[in-house]
Amino acid sequence: MASPMRSLLTDLSRYVRCFHVFLAKSTEHQTMKQFVEQQLPGLLASTGSGKSAINILSVGGGAGEIDLQIISAVQANYPGVAINNEVIEPSADQILKYKERVAATSNLDNVKFTWHEETANEYESRMKAEKKSQKWDFIHMIQMLYYVKDIPEIIRYFHSLLAAQAKLLIIVVSETSGWETLWRKYGSSFPTDDLCTFVSSANIKGILDSVGLKYKVYELPSHMDITCCFTEGDNDGELLLDFLTETCEFSKTAPPELKHQVLEELRKPGCSENRNGKVIFNNSMSVIMIEP
């Protein structure tokens, strides 16, 4: 009998609900914001030197929360310099939220926003068909490489769009995280439906090494409270389990044995630690900064 399990990405509205629970339960965005505020300005020190405008390309920009932090960091480095910020994002709902966030944010007078409602693959195909090849001063791909068809090709393509002194920033889950442990062991049991691929910093470093690109890695420790996953019928817990396994309604559709094994694994030291009676998942990320 065919498995009733299906990829979470077949139901985008549920995916977004799961993602919001994930953000509420994890330190993901706080950790990223800290990196953007404290370390990114130094890493982009020469990126906009002597330029009348700085071109930023956000690949998978989501609802713009981190994008606006990045723009703020660039503005701090280059006060008054015009910024052209283009966003590739396939979710119309996320783009709408992004536009609302921009409308509610001050100090964006010198920033021009353009949104492309498409995937990274669709953007590449469209640019090639239109024979366009704009150069960018900063390109970032934050937590989105799981959702592209050919990761080495996407990295190669966007790297080819870097201007001199430019940087390509990638953020993915760290090879030391609980995600690595869970997906290395059970990923083949989850229904990706060709819509997502598990990758961690180890995979990305391997790809970059194989093509000889220079990069530096910065580790971002992050954690997530997954205690609610162990309460049968808890709504947040079910949404979080969906997100962890990329499976739509995992609790209801997974074979009982797999569900039991995944819940057991999530409690183990390779994934989580017990802190004051709470199960705290290792959500650490790696920032990979690539030179032109």
Answer for the pair 114, 139: CB distance below 8 angstroms, yes or no: no
Name the nearest CA neighbour of 24 among 271, 247, 228: 228
Answer for the pair 172, 208: CB distance below 8 angstroms, yes or no: no
77 is in an annotated binding site: no
Answer for the pair 174, 285: CB distance below 8 angstroms, yes or no: yes
Answer for the pair 95, 117: CB distance below 8 angstroms, yes or no: yes
Alpha carbon distances (Å) from 212 to 47, 205, 209: 22, 10, 5
Buried b (16+ CB within 10 A) or exposed e, 248-277: bbbbebbeeebbeebbebbbeebbbeeeee
85 is in an annotated binding site: no
Beta strands 278-282 and 82-88 are unpaired
In this structure, how many other beta carbons lie within 10 angstroms of the beta carbon of residue 212? 6
List the strands of the sheet with 223-225, edge to edge. Answer: 223-225, 278-282, 272-275
* Residue list, annotated binding site: 28, 283
* Residue list, annotated binding site for substrate: 28, 283
